[in-house]
Amino acid sequence: MPEIAEVARIVHFIRKHLLNKTIAKCIALDDANIYGKNLTGATTGAEFQKHLTGRKIIGTGQQGKYFWIILDKAPHPVMHFGMSGWLNFRSEETYYYRKKEGEPDQDWPPKFWKFQLETKAGPGEEIVEAAFVDMRRFARIRLVDCSGDQIRDNSPLVENGPDPVVDKDKVTAEWLKDKCRSKKVPIKAMLLDQANISGIGNWVGDEIMYNAKMHPEQYANTLSDAQIEQLLKSIHYVCSTACNVLGDSEKFPDDWLFKHRWGKGKKDAAKALPNGEKIQFLTVGGRTSAVVPSVQKKTGPVAKEMDETVSDDQKPKKGRATTDTRGTEKSKKRKAKQADPEEATKPQKAKAGKVKTEHAQENGDDPKTNGTAPPRRRSARHKE
């Protein structure tokens, strides 16, 4: 899933290719999933096409995993890439995965496109073509009817926490202390919850935990003031560093866990850092986490210890042995959904014979790869 750095990357290319351009043509497919059915700001392909055609792009912005385009007249498109969305430009390869050697250039329009834009060519200018693509259909596109400077005061952005890069002045030690003290959840789960802080996803969360030398399972409300100060430094360092290089992983520091965390379950996967310290994988907040136990020490209660505590006088439920953990597992899954809003949008596994037609046509997420081992990430090359 594109996280804070990858979204910063696309905002960079919007500024480079679309800023101050007039949209001469917009073609949008009508996909109720993509255009936010039952959500505030929901629209349709036809409405999106109507409101963008002829409009001038005068700005763009980002809050965590959300980004938007400011037009010369409301409403303005606010977008979220979901699991696999991206904004392609015909004139330049912008994706954060590099093509494999020998892989052909992308077709145009690209596969799985949801809308296409074509700009008006001014004197000495070339036409710019862009296309929003999403294979899995977890992306969201909405129209927000307000002035451009009030987009963040409206849904869906107003429900999300501050961006650690854009809102660095808000993500302070006191702010983080208040968050940690009030959250009886694993540290990483707290960071993944977009209602707390925007833009931190699975790999960024792991990098922050590794840099801060903290175990992701430890409960946030057990951290000392010194640990919270270190966590704050790691949040700012990891997020700003990744955004500054536009999510280009070849430019990430060599000592980052990111360089060695991918490929869980594969025979040739890295199981240790170059210095020999072992990498382990465990589930925190419903997501697979890469952890270096020799660096990330537990200094307080962790999720598993807290969840498995049962009082001596607690009676077992009728018909179940006292060792039955099914209730605990359900509780963990419920907490996992709360920890990451995108998790709650995943289609539920349907029972045989009870699948409605429209649900059967949706592209679901693959739980085997969610948050664990995506295809090998290849840094994108881009021209500044």
The two tokens of residue 55 are: 């409009």
Which residues belong to CATH 3.20.190.10 in the chain?
4-159
Q: What is the mean pLDDT of residues 62-85?
A: 98
CA contacts within 13 A on the Cβ side of 167: 19
Structure confidence by residue, pLDDT tens digits, 200-252: 999 999 999 999 999 999 999 999 999 999 999 999 999 999 999 999 999 99
Q: Look at residue 327 and tell me whether its pLDDT is greater than 50.
A: no
Report the pLDDT value the prediction gives residue 65, as an integer from 0 to 100.
98
Q: What are phi and psi of 233, to 5 degrees?
A: -60, -40
The answer to whether the Cα torsion of 216, 219, 223, 229 is positive or negative is positive
Map the chain to HEC letters. CCCHHHHHHHHHHHHHHCCCCEEEEEEECCCCCCCCCCCCCCCCHHHHHHHHCCCEEEEEEEECCEEEEEECCCCEEEEECCCCCEEEECCECCCCCCCCCCCCCCCCCCCCEEEEEEECCCCCCCCCEEEEECCCCCCEEEEECCCHHHHHHCCCHHHCCCCCCCCCCCCCHHHHHHHHHHCCCEHHHHHHCCCCCCCCCHHHHHHHHHHHCECCCEEHHHCCHHHHHHHHHHHHHHHHHHHHCCCCHHHCCCCCHHHCCCCCCCCCCCCECCCCCECEEEEECCEEEEECCCCCECCCCEHHHHHCCCCCCCCCCCCCCCCCCHHHHHHHHHHHHHHCHHHHCCCCCCCCCCCCHHHHCCCCCCCCCCCCCCCCCCCCCCCC
The answer to whether the Cα torsion of 375, 378, 381, 382 is positive or negative is positive
The CATH number fitting domain 173-307, selected from 1.10.8.50, 3.40.630.30, 3.30.450.20, 3.30.930.10: 1.10.8.50
% of the chain at pLDDT higher than 70: 74
**At 221, which amino acid appears?**
N
CA 11/CA 103 separation, integer angstroms: 26
Report the pLDDT value the prediction gives residue 247, as an integer from 0 to 100.
96
Which residues belong to CATH 1.10.8.50 in the chain?
173-307
Query: Which range is least confidently modeled, 56-65, 107-116, 269-278?
Result: 269-278
CA 141/CA 120 separation, integer angstroms: 23
Contact assessment for residue 75 and residue 355, using Cβ atoms and an 8 Å cutoff? no
Q: Look at residue 305 and tell me whether its pLDDT is greater than 90.
A: no
Q: What is the mean pLDDT of residues 109-124?
A: 95
Tell the residue number behind the tokens 């605990």, with chain if given: 328
The answer to whether the Cα torsion of 220, 221, 223, 224 is positive or negative is positive
Conformation bin of residue 4: beta by default, left when phi > 0, alpha when psi is -120 to 50: alpha
The two tokens of residue 358 are: 């429209």
CA 237/CA 234 separation, integer angstroms: 5
Report the pLDDT value the prediction gives residue 227, as an integer from 0 to 100.
98
- The answer, as to whether pTM is greater than 0.85, is no
Structure confidence by residue, pLDDT tens digits, 133-163: 999 999 999 999 999 999 999 999 999 999 9
Tell the residue number behind the tokens 């505590």, with chain if given: 309
Quick one: pLDDT band at residue 101, thresholds 50, 70, 90?
Answer: low
Report the pLDDT value the prediction gives residue 150, as an integer from 0 to 100.
98
CATH superfamily, domain at 4-159: MutM-like, N-terminal (3.20.190.10)
Structure confidence by residue, pLDDT tens digits, 351-377: 443 333 333 333 333 333 334 444 444
